[in-house]
A and B are shown apart, each in its own frame.
Chain A
Amino acid sequence: MSLFHRIARSDHAPVRFLLDGVPCEGREGDTLLTAILTHVDKVRVSDFSGAPRAGFCQIGVCQDCWVTLADGERVRACTTPLTAGMSVVTGAAA
């Protein structure tokens, strides 16, 4: 179940991306964090305990929302705009 609930921008254009291999839709203007958390409730697992994480500060300070893309690149979800065709893996330590 999603963590985030949209209350604005419902008319923005859909942006398609892959979340753990599953086709999903975000919206134009989403950060990657928003796109992920409007579908599921975590972006990664902790390197140490394996506990789920979903970010914390949302302004690029805490570094808690780094996610792994399917091509191996790692990005900070809260400061990365969603772009069409992104493929995100949330089960990985990132």
Chain B
Amino acid sequence: MSRPQPLVVGAGPAGVRAAETLVKAGLRPLVVDEAPACGGQIYRRPLVKDERDARALYGSEAGKAQRLHGAFAALAGRIEHWPRALVWNLRDGRADIAVAGESRAVAYDGLILATGASDRVLPVPGWTLPGVFTLGGAQVALKAQGCAIGQRVVFAGSGPLLYLVAWQYMKAGVKVVAVLDAAPLAAKRHLLRGLALAPDIVLRGMRFAAELRLNGVMLRHGICDLAFEGEGRVAGVRWREGRRERHLFCDGAGYGLSLRSETQLADLAGCAFAFNQRDRAFLPQRDPSGRTSVRGVYIAGDGAGIAGADAAELAGERAALALLEDRGLPHAPERAADLERKLARIGRFRDVLEAAFPFPAQWAARVKDETVVCRCEEVSAGALRNAVRDFSLDEINRLKAVSRIGMGRCQGRFCGAAAAELLAVETGRGVEAVGRLRSQPPVKPVPLTLMPREAAE
């Protein structure tokens, strides 16, 4: 019997380049992706083509988006592509995949996880109000759905996406009321170091900020104690700058603090994790090629640690070359070394970005008891603090068992970082000391009506 084919999870920049590289070597991978079409989040396409061209949808990244879409289209017939499909579990060399109303168990030989990322959020008062979305969500509404999340929109949080999304809304003709950056203005001096590493990205970001300001958008730095207000939907935003409290009316808000990696499948695959200081998160351990601690399992792209779309394309190709090498196939060692050099350079730039948009570590000490931390189960910061004290907890999975934090439908994707920060402060330790939430199948909700089907391949 022939060897099973590799499985690539995710059809964003990393997954597409991984699949392309495997196909070039004569393999026929199965590519599973939740979206109806390739592109991931950054190069996501509207469900139905509309009047906007690639330039309008992807801006300066239009060329990259079109090349990636084109590369994937060229693989048609040479890969298996399951769109609208969810890998909901990994066990014993098989993936359980929810697709077309049934659950298929698929054996694979070689697994490349390119699962991407979503917004990192620290809960603030009012963050569950209708009209408050993640920065990424605000961007998807605009790009993929052609809708604005409001008519007077505030963008808050930190990270490069903050300025990009605000600028995209302004360009689309939406009234952007303010951009509220948690990072202090002084931190932006680090971007000067970034000029040498990625001048185009730094200059583009500076242009976004300058154009926002020129168009009358209020830009504030070093804001804290952010709160969204409103009855039944967002109607305003409040924040503090030093001793001064400020308020603005708005009817939509985008909020996010950089990104967080989607690592559940790596966990279910048995990969060892380690704390990553730059991402302030536990990430699957990997070598520069993308090999994890589990033989035959590779990770690439933002799901392996936040590095952006350009890095994801490089890392997807690099991980595929590692898979080819481990399978005894030609694996282009010089190309692999070149990819690793480029990835290391991007890594140095990520250090700069983290310094320019530092994580607001003071959040955990300042968050009020009544603030809802878990939006699924509505667990408050006070309930978490009480649980930590009453049960003398010092580990995040114990806190989960007692408080239900991370047990809701999102499985800790939006509260996990916050709960760990709170637990660390309450127990007087660094966040790396409190452990990480264990992942459970199904990694996302699947219908109980899924019909199981054991496939031979």
A interface vs B, CB < 8 Å?
3-9, 11-12, 28-31, 34, 37-38, 41-42, 46, 48-49, 51-64, 66, 76, 78-79, 81
Q: Which of B140-148, B177-185, B198-206 makes up part of the contact surface?
A: B140-148
Which of A29, A54, A57, A60 has the most B CB atoms < 10 Å from its CB? A57
**CB-CB < 8 A to B145: which residues of A?**
4, 9, 29-31, 34
Query: How near does chain B come to A53, taking the closest CB pair, in angstroms?
Result: 7
Instruction: For the complex, give the distance between the alpha carbons of A8 and B413 in Å.
Output: 31
Residue-wise, chain B 392-428 has the 8 Å CB interface mask toward A (1 for contact) of 0000000000000000111001100000000000000
**CB-CB < 8 A to B218: which residues of A?**
none
> Are A48 and B118 neighbours in the complex by a CB distance under 8 Å?
no
Query: How near does chain B come to A66, taking the closest CB pair, in angstroms?
Result: 8
Query: How near does chain A come to B48, taking the closest CB pair, in angstroms?
Result: 3
7 smallest beta-carbon distances between A and B, as pairs: A8-B146, A29-B48, A54-B130, A58-B137, A63-B409, A4-B147, A48-B378
- Other-chain residue from B132, B173, B174, B445 in contact with A56 (beta carbon distance below 8 A): B132
**CB-CB < 8 A to B141: which residues of A?**
4, 34, 58
Residue-wise, chain B 88-116 has the 8 Å CB interface mask toward A (1 for contact) of 00000000000000000000000000000
- Other-chain residue from A8, A51, A62 in contact with B414 (beta carbon distance below 8 A): A62
> Are A3 and B233 neighbours in the complex by a CB distance under 8 Å?
yes
> Are A3 and B131 neighbours in the complex by a CB distance under 8 Å?
yes
> What residue of chain A has the Cβ atom nearest to residue B408's Cβ?
A63
> Are B50 and A55 neighbours in the complex by a CB distance under 8 Å?
no
Instruction: For the complex, give the distance between the alpha carbons of A86 and B262 in Å.
Output: 32
Task: Given A46-B378, A52-B130, A56-B132, answer yes or no on A3-B149 (Cβ-Cβ < 8 Å).
Answer: yes
Q: Tell me whether chain A's interface is mostly helix, strand or loop, or mixed.
A: loop
> What residue of chain A has the Cβ atom nearest to residue B34's Cβ?
A60
> Are B147 and A58 neighbours in the complex by a CB distance under 8 Å?
no
Instruction: For the complex, give the distance between the alpha carbons of A46 and B47 in Å.
Output: 28
Query: How near does chain B come to A12, taking the closest CB pair, in angstroms?
Result: 6
> Are A62 and B146 neighbours in the complex by a CB distance under 8 Å?
no
Residue-wise, chain B 187-228 has the 8 Å CB interface mask toward A (1 for contact) of 000000000000000000000000000000000000000000
Instruction: For the complex, give the distance between the alpha carbons of A78 and B118 in Å.
Output: 14
B interface vs A, CB < 8 Å?
34, 36, 41, 46-48, 50-52, 118-119, 128, 130-134, 136-137, 140-142, 145-151, 172-174, 232-233, 252, 262, 375-378, 408-410, 413-414, 444-445
**CB-CB < 8 A to B118: which residues of A?**
57, 59, 61-62
Query: How near does chain B come to A15, taking the closest CB pair, in angstroms?
Result: 11
Q: Can you list 12 A-B contacts with CB-CB less than 8 angstroms, sorted by A residue number? A: A3-B149, A4-B148, A5-B148, A41-B131, A57-B118, A57-B137, A59-B118, A62-B134, A63-B376, A63-B445, A64-B410, A81-B36
**CB-CB < 8 A to A4: which residues of B?**
141, 145, 147-149
Instruction: For the complex, give the distance between the alpha carbons of A78 and B41 in Å.
Output: 13
**CB-CB < 8 A to B172: which residues of A?**
7
> What residue of chain A has the Cβ atom nearest to residue B153's Cβ?
A5
> What residue of chain A has the Cβ atom nearest to residue B46's Cβ?
A29
Query: How near does chain A come to B350, taking the closest CB pair, in angstroms?
Result: 22
**CB-CB < 8 A to A49: which residues of B?**
378
- Other-chain residue from A6, A46, A53 in contact with B146 (beta carbon distance below 8 A): A6
Instruction: For the complex, give the distance between the alpha carbons of A54 and B413 in Å.
Output: 18
Instruction: For the complex, give the distance between the alpha carbons of A70 and B150 in Å.
Output: 28
**CB-CB < 8 A to A37: which residues of B?**
147
> Are A59 and B47 neighbours in the complex by a CB distance under 8 Å?
no
- Other-chain residue from A12, A28, A34, A56 in contact with B133 (beta carbon distance below 8 A): A56
**CB-CB < 8 A to B414: which residues of A?**
56-57, 61-62
Which of B48, B140, B146, B174 has the most A CB atoms < 10 Å from its CB? B146
**CB-CB < 8 A to B233: which residues of A?**
3, 41-42, 52, 54
Query: How near does chain A come to B126, taking the closest CB pair, in angstroms?
Result: 11
Task: Given A63-B410, A79-B34, answer yes or no on A7-B133 (Cβ-Cβ < 8 Å).
Answer: no
Task: Given A3-B233, A7-B148, A58-B136, answer yes or no on A81-B47 (Cβ-Cβ < 8 Å).
Answer: yes
> Are A55 and B147 neighbours in the complex by a CB distance under 8 Å?
no
> What residue of chain A has the Cβ atom nearest to residue B145's Cβ?
A34
Query: How near does chain B come to A86, taking the closest CB pair, in angstroms?
Result: 15
**CB-CB < 8 A to A54: which residues of B?**
130-131, 233
- Other-chain residue from A6, A42, A51, A62 in contact with B147 (beta carbon distance below 8 A): A6
Query: How near does chain B come to A39, taking the closest CB pair, in angstroms?
Result: 12
Supplied contacts A8-B52, A54-B131, A64-B375, 18 more A-B pairs, CB within 8 Å = A4-B149, A5-B174, A7-B146, A9-B46, A29-B145, A41-B232, A52-B130, A54-B130, A55-B133, A56-B128, A57-B119, A58-B140, A59-B118, A62-B375, A63-B409, A63-B445, A64-B128, A78-B140
